[in-house]
Structure 1
Amino acid sequence: MVAPSKVVGQIGNSLWTTFFLFDNAVANPDSALITDFERMYETDETVAAAIDFMILAVLNKLDRYVNESDPTLQEFVNDALNGMRGSLLEACAGILTAIWAGYSGTEIVWKASTWKGSARIMLDKLVTYHPRSVMFNLDRQTGELADEPITQWRWFDGSYVKIPRHKSIVFTHGNGTFGNPYGRSQLKRGRKNWLLKDPVLKMWVNGVDKYGTPLVAAMVPDGEIRDPENPGTEDAPNYISNVAYMSRLLNNIQNGTGLAMSTGTGDEKSDIKFHGAGAGLGDAFERLIMYLNKMLFRSVLTPSLLFDEGQRSGSYALGQSHFDIFTMMNGGIYRKLVEVLIEQLVRPLIEMNFGPQKDYGTFPEREISNEDMDKLAKIFAAMTDKGYLDPEQEEHLHHVQSKLGFPLTKSEDIAARQEKVAKDYGHYLREDETNDQPNDTPVTKETA
């Protein structure tokens, strides 16, 4: 019996608020902000530190590809990743530009090659394009990515190219985007604080320029004096008012090292006063900038205590709780990165060479300290002594090596080592002795 159409399949659509451009390419609702996000990342030291720290923390978790159900696939994928131009970490750093842009579009460049004497499709390189040149194509019925998900627009050329699914890696950042492939930039919530920060810095500079040199006020008596610079002659002396002469002195006060004048007596007494902006002007601007920086860190969930540079004291528990929140968010980004790599990179690589599989492996999270490594080593040693682990078994050996972060031993190396052990020490084995001699024949030096 065929199920009714209202039971099987999607009825609704999340694209009713989406503006289509051409050929099912949808517009980015935040396209006008991409320039601001890029400028924030490129020019603001606080934003750059937070985003770079986040990307590096995610990349630090990335370990080698592991497929415990099929060691051949594991070896093939690792050889393909090692043989491509550039490194996987460098390529993932490009993919993770989605953290500040909201999304990233990467093209997979394949090449024909050989692996263990067989013709294979291998990786050549991964190219992540600038987010302003990337548009996504969606199916109008389901809102999912189309068969050619990426359209790269060549702005100066006025043309575009479409990249098919098996050559595309689409990474969408942000939660709760309602099917929007452009995601949500991590900087979007902090943009208002960044817009305030630039004018505040300019006001701070203007304040220092205006009040850095205090205002000088001089009170002089009425009357005139003979101009010291142009006194004239005895018959025709040149006089200048006290106010004009004092103005001349004050105009040149920054170029000189001192000021000399007669004080006068009584009502004709002269006086000079310096008027500054007060001691709290710079502190107010500094507190405001620190607040804006803190809000920028908070907007990307980066622990601000890591970048306080000792300006503020805090408890260890507070710093640990900050870092736990950051680690939780970073773990979510890492797991999403692994899903994208497995589904959009590793899966087509395996299927083009070996066909569909039940298990496409994973990239385990590298999160182990020296203390934990020492504990694991003791556990593995105890399990080996008790017989639960066998170093001669390839699966056991690879599991231990991957957990401890060591490179995996190749299958042919394991087989060669086993052959060497059998050749060098095989005659000590009881099975060889029983096969070579009758059971009732004693073993002597000559027979051994």
Structure 2
Amino acid sequence: MARQPQLLDQWGRPVQRSSLRQEVSAPTIGGVRSPLSGYPADGLTPDRLAVILREADAGDPVRYLELAETIEERDPHYLGVLGTRRRSVCQIDITVEEGGDTAHDLAMAKLVRDWLDRDELADETFDILDAIGKGYSFTEILWDTSMGQWQPARLEYRDPRWFRFARHDLATPRMIGEGGQEEALPGFKFIFARMRAKSGLALRSGLARIATWGWMFKAYTQRDWAIFTQTYGQPIRIGKYGPDADEKDRETLFRAVANIGGDCAGIIPDKMMIEFIEAKSIGSSTDHYERRADWLDRQISKAVLGQTATTDAETGGLGSGNEHREVQKDIEAADCKALAAILNRDLVRPWIDLEFGPQRAYPRIRITRPEPEDLKAFSDAIGPLVDRGLRVATADVLAKFGLPEAAKKAEILHPQGQIPAQMPPDPAPGDGIPPESEFKYRLNTRPAPAWGHAALQTDRRSTGRTAALAPAEDRLASEAALPVGEMIERIEVMLEAASSLEEAREMILAAWPDLSTDGLVEVLAEAFLAAHAGGRALVEDEADG
């Protein structure tokens, strides 16, 4: 038995095939990979936020990752724009390009292509793109070998809190093992995705690091807005008592004034009075809270989507509309390329190596939004080129128009005026006329071929090889015109007399055995003989020359 080659992962470490069949980073209650999370956003202050970010910079990202998760849960705007960016990539169809033209290259590409045609793929890529917010993500590949072949069973998202980076470079990912010790990632086992909002360490390149400051300042603004509304959004209650009111009367009045805001009811002696004084111009006093919150949201939109027009309903002005949409498309294209590169490196190449061994060329995943194309212009351009000999694959043309390959028994459309190449079989006696759905084609009278002297002269000018045969060709063309013309005249008469395609078909089939072809057969026999003799004469002339 041939020994399997030793495979190396992207870091040059040997791959242990036995460990690939095990789930190595599943969550455990009470263990080092607990699914329970903390909430460092509660009571967040600028000082605490600075400490959390410094901890992440030093290689301890737990509280930063928990804060990033909390912001997505508590800030609808950040969740919306981040989800838009991730889903815009997930819904694009993934294609696979072959690494070469051999049958083996095509088989490898088909293997990957068939696996990608899964309903779960959109959710799996959405989880991988969690790296856009946090800066990186980890996805465990659960391999299936039940059929004797290597194939990914599913891609399982793993909480990034369960991973660290090597202290010497803060770039090499490591996994927290069962004993709490950092371990190297098993080769061919994880998809390690990095999505850079900026250059630098993965712990400092996520959008969440920028969003934390905006979210904290907006939280302060919302809190102040709520306090202001609570305080000045309802009238001020003032209780008045007379000079003869004692301490007990004053306490009764205060309780009534204090509770009437929530209870909207109260009782006081008839010698006391409560007035409601409404604050004026409250609307203008609260506008600055809303403007500040909206301004902070726009900054988040710029950071995540690169623009604001598609999220904040701003129109008009330079850079609006189509220009902002182009910016969003550029970011989407960059995300697509980054995700494709990650999947090719951490999924496709390991899979092919496990199944087939190392290859000179590998199939490649492409994630690209198709650009709108003027199909009419394509049709107008490709027809003349094909007529001039350009070789174009039918599959490529069908793909342009999004059409599948026609089944063998499918009804085929034909150019107007063209008789199908394959005529339907003659009906058996007693079968009757097939229904129209089974026999649809056009019958028309195509003009006889231009076999005359003008056509031959054109052919001579283009080839320069028929001048010696000109007399024979002219005679054959003249003799063939008579029998062909008689056949066409009879068919024309039947078509004019028929009231439907079915009747015309029956008339043609009935008359076909009686159509005389003797003259045409003789002409064709003489034509073949003349062509053979003329060809030999031309060869001898060229040899003598």
The reply to whether TM is greater than 0.5 is yes
2: distance between equivalents of 1:276 and 1:378? 68
Alignment-derived partner of residue 45 in structure 2: none
Q: Quick check: which has more Rg, 1 or 2?
A: 2
Q: Which one-letter code corresponds to 1:333 in the other structure? A: D
> Partners in 2 of 1:91 and 1:380 — Cα distance?
38
Aligned residues of 2:94 and 2:116 also touching (Cα < 8 A): no
| Bigger mean CA deviation after superposition, 350-359 or 183-192 | 350-359
Matched, 1:57 2:57: no
Distance 1:215 1:359, change over 3 A: same
The verdict on how the C-alpha distance between 1:95 and 1:193 changes in structure 2, with shifts beyond 3 A counting, is same
Tell whether the 8 Å contact from 1:121 to 1:352 is kept in structure 2 after alignment: yes
Distance 1:379 1:68, change over 3 A: farther
CA deviations over 1:338-359 (Å, ceiling 9, x no partner)? 1111222222223333441335
- Tell me, yes or no, if structure 1 residue 286 matches structure 2 residue 285: no
Report SS of the residue matched to 1:344.
helix
Bigger share in strand: 1
Q: Deviations over 1:61-87 (max 9, x none)?
A: 34322338444333221113236xx53
Summarize deviations over 1:166-190 as a string: whole Å, max 9, x none: 2232111216544x35561112123
- Distance in 2 between the 1:182 and 1:408 partners? 47
Between the aligned partners of 1:129 and 1:172, the Cα distance in structure 2 is 14
**Distance of 1:295 and 1:386 partners within structure 2:** 52
TM-score, length-scaled by structure 2: 0.55
Range 377-386 or range 93-102, more displaced: 377-386
Q: Does 1:133 align with 2:179?
A: no
Equivalent residue number for residue 340 of structure 1: 342
Q: Which moved more, 1:331-340 or 1:379-388?
A: 379-388
- Say whether the 8 Å CA contact 2:207–2:303 is kept in structure 1: yes
Deviations 1:4-62 (A, max 9, x none): xxxxxxxxxxxxxxxxxxxxxx9736554212111111221011001100101122334
2:176 counterpart residue number: 153
Aligned residue runs from structure 1 range 142-221, under 5 A: 151-153=174-176, 158=180, 162-174=184-196, 177-178=199-200, 180-182=201-203, 184-218=205-239
- Amino acid in the other structure paired with 1:387: V
Question: What amino acid is the match of 1:291?
Answer: W
Match of 1:74 in 2: 109
Show the counterpart of 1:353. 355
Looking at structure 1, the residues matched to 366 and 74 of structure 2 have their Cα atoms a distance apart, in angstroms, of 34
Question: Under a length normalisation based on structure 1, what TM-score does the superposition of the two structures give?
Answer: 0.65
Distance 1:27 1:241 in 2: 63
Q: Does 2:152 match 1:123?
A: yes
- Residue 154 of structure 2 aligns to which amino acid in structure 1? K
For 2:386, the equivalent position in structure 1 comes to 387
Aligned residue runs from structure 1 range 7-18, under 5 A = none
CA contact (8 A) 1:223 1:241 kept: no
In structure 2, C-alpha distance between the alignment counterparts of 1:168 and 1:52, rounded to whole Å? 23
Query: What is aligned with 1:18?
Result: none
| Equivalent position SS for 1:318 | coil
| Greater share of residues in helix | 2
> Does the CA-based 8 Å contact 2:344-2:365 persist in structure 1?
yes
Q: 2:277 aligns with which of 261, 274, 277?
A: 274
Q: Is the 8 A contact 1:383 1:389 kept in 2?
A: no
**Residue in 2 aligned with 1:48?**
79
Identity %: 18
2:370: which partner in 1?
Answer: 367
Are 2:109 and 2:363, in contact at CA under 8 Å, matched by a contact in 1? no
1:203-245 CA distance string (max 9 Å, x none): 2222222222222335555346xxxxxxxxxxxxxx9998677
1:61 counterpart SS class: coil
Once residues 308 and 269 of structure 2 are traced to their aligned partners in structure 1, the CA distance between those partners, rounded to angstroms, is 55
The DSSP-based 3-state class of the residue aligned with 1:64 is strand
Please list the CA deviations of residues 68-124 of structure 1 after superposition, one character each: whole Å capped at 9, or x if unmatched. 8444333221113236xx53222211110001111012222222366xxxx642221
| Cα 1:389–1:170 shift into 2, 3 Å | farther
- 8 Å contact from structure 2 (residues 257, 274) kept in 1: no
Q: Which has the bigger relative contact order, CA under 8 A and spacing at least 6?
A: 1
8 A contact 1:217–1:275 mirrored in 2: no
Aligned residues: 364
Deviation at 1:281, TM superposition (A): 3.2
Q: Work out whether residues 100 and 361 of structure 2, in 8 Å CA contact, stay in contact via their aligned partners in 1.
A: no
Matches within 5 A, 1:426-441: none
Measured in 2, the distance between the counterparts of 1:189 and 1:110 equals 37
Following the alignment from structure 2 to structure 1, what is the Cα–Cα distance between the partners of residues 69 and 226?
25
Gaps of 5+ in 2: 1-56, 413-419, 425-479, 488-511, 522-545
Would you say the 8 A contact 2:97–2:363 is kept in 1? no
What secondary structure is seen at the aligned counterpart in 2 of 1:197?
A: helix
Question: Alignment partner of 1:207: what SS?
Answer: helix
Residue 296 of structure 1 corresponds to 300
- Choose which of 103, 112, 120 in structure 2 pairs with 1:87: 120
- Partner in structure 2 of residue 321 of structure 1: 323
Whether the 8 Å contact between 2:59 and 2:170 is mirrored in structure 1 is: no
Cα displacement (A) at 1:381: 6.7
In structure 2, distance between residues paired with 1:274 and 1:287: 28
Distance 1:358 1:45 in 2: 45
Letter in 2 for 1:222: P
- CA gap of 1:304–1:170, structure 2 versus 1, over 3 A, is same
Deviation of 1:201 after TM superposition, in Å, equals: 1.8
List gaps (5 residues or longer) in structure 1.
Answer: 1-25, 225-238, 265-269, 429-440
